[in-house]
Structure 1
């Protein structure tokens, strides 16, 4: 674990402030909006490997742009208020609401002023995906854009975040100086984030999924672009089409083909985010068996909050 805490770091220019913020949290572009010397009033960092906690406040007002490469960010305005613009949507952070910023997605802070102390939680995209499956025992879904920190789980999670930051950056971090504790702390904070943010599954889906459902889920995940038919999936499970439908409704909360469609949308989203210059939306849609482009665009917008072309061109 590495950590830094200084009460009033000083820099000769904004380049120094920019580099300190980038090292503490994410690469970004920064533009000062108010006059006065460059200043960073506070910076504290707890590096836990695949996740990180930071606290920062500035000495002047700035505009920040980033796309959070390869990691999720959860931003909390510990004091003041912080407006985010994420892929065309405005989301506000304050002491009661955290903003969740997805990886590889354009985000702008139009005006981060000295009244706002930012507490940020960063977690690598791949680590969060694995923990989602491990903790919640289901396929990952996109996190909501905002967390309610007034709820019992949200309040507890924020308390753990700030307590870990305060303790680890103190003169006597104690047990948190041990790498084994650091690893456990990182997993604890990610588990808390998931329990706070992830939607509940239907009650019937919380039990152990039967073999017939697990088989079909695995086959869909392995080859979602395949033109599956109801009879093929039922044959794979060794039951009737009607029994397979009942099993999915009971243990997954949706039909096999609704589940298949969601997997295809998620794969298309990943490809659009990481697309090369020559890629088109139609190519990606067809690649994952989403041949009805009009329906694909509507379903994609409903699931991810923006059009496929916006994702591709971001």
Structure 2
């Protein structure tokens, strides 16, 4: 059972602290979209706390109004909004449906359907704002074909179900990594891009939508030669910032098929196989008896843009830091 979490996230990334209603509406609109904001009780005192961290295709937000408010954004337009309540409750009306969101039930709002929200005074939420174009790009990669139309999810995300728990774990892990300063730090890295892709893939594969059946139908097994094409492409591009989408295109299969086939055949994801190949190449270069490159040059030449992560991965695979020789 998931209990309400009262932690304030991303305090080091404060966007807004205000008790002024109009300032709250204007500043929050700048981060999300234009909307109407009203106090349920005009004598109540507003106490807005908004913190936010931006990646490339999504932003992670903590938001609390500190008073009972009604929010009417109409159509979100350019983004999907996944909401995880940390405390309190919110009544959500969306696409003709109405639910009460709380710590055991989140909501996923579609950009092309009108929305109205009523937050109680204790409500605080994590809000994941996902660019519509990015989600559609990931969806096309999973299905292996152009989308027949807009992707529309069921609004309610039940965190007591198996699929809902997977979604909750993935997004909370992202929030905690941002909180620790591990994700979405400038400059952004390939890890940040992979996390953004993985989060959207989790929504598309675990939350029911109008394309769930298409994703399931595309979920077929790759042939051995497709896996070989993927591996050949990886080894040819070890030093370049390639993505899972690039690998799937090189193998001429959709991403979901590629991932399943790698797990079944190799017991690893394609990106884990790529990372191991890069680490093995780095190890070979650093163990050279002469003209050994520096650790930083080796990391960059084998596709690692973050030296700290490179050192951690290297030690995990070989049992010692890249600056050390193998231990006796």
Of the three residues 112, 121, 124, the one matched with 2:128 is 121
Residues 15/157 of structure 1: CA separation in 2 closer, same or farther (3 Å cut) = same
Of the three residues 48, 60, 63, the one matched with 1:53 is 60
In the alignment, what sits opposite 2:152?
A: 142
| C-alpha contact (below 8 Å) 1:149/1:158 kept by paired residues | yes
In the alignment, does 2:172 pair up with 1:184?
no
CA distance in 2, matches of 1:55, 1:69: 21
In the alignment, what sits opposite 2:164?
A: 154
CA distance in 2, matches of 1:65, 1:202: 33
Gap runs ≥5 in structure 1: 210-314
| C-alpha contact (below 8 Å) 2:17/2:50 kept by paired residues | no
Q: TM-score of the superposition, structure 2-length normalised?
A: 0.54
In the alignment, what sits opposite 2:114?
A: 106
Alignment of 1:26-65 (within 5 A): 26-34=33-41, 35-40=43-48, 42-65=49-72
In the alignment, what sits opposite 1:25?
A: 32
Q: Secondary structure at the match of 2:52?
A: strand
In the alignment, what sits opposite 1:168?
A: 178
Q: Secondary structure at the match of 2:135?
A: helix
In the alignment, does 2:192 pair up with 1:196?
no
Gap runs ≥5 in structure 2: 1-9, 223-328
CA distance in 1, matches of 2:62, 2:165: 17
| C-alpha contact (below 8 Å) 1:78/1:116 kept by paired residues | yes
- 1:261-300: CA deviations, max 9, x gaps? xxxxxxxxxxxxxxxxxxxxxxxxxxxxxxxxxxxxxxxx
Residues 48/202 of structure 1: CA separation in 2 closer, same or farther (3 Å cut) = closer
In the alignment, does 2:214 pair up with 1:206?
no
CA distance in 1, matches of 2:166, 2:142: 18
Over aligned residues, Cα RMSD in angstroms? 3.0
| C-alpha contact (below 8 Å) 1:30/1:62 kept by paired residues | yes
> Displaced runs of 4+ in structure 1, greater than 6 A?
none
Q: TM-score of the superposition, structure 1-length normalised?
A: 0.56
| C-alpha contact (below 8 Å) 1:84/1:108 kept by paired residues | yes
How many pairs are equivalent? Answer: 204
CA distance in 1, matches of 2:188, 2:121: 34
- 1:210-241: CA deviations, max 9, x gaps? xxxxxxxxxxxxxxxxxxxxxxxxxxxxxxxx
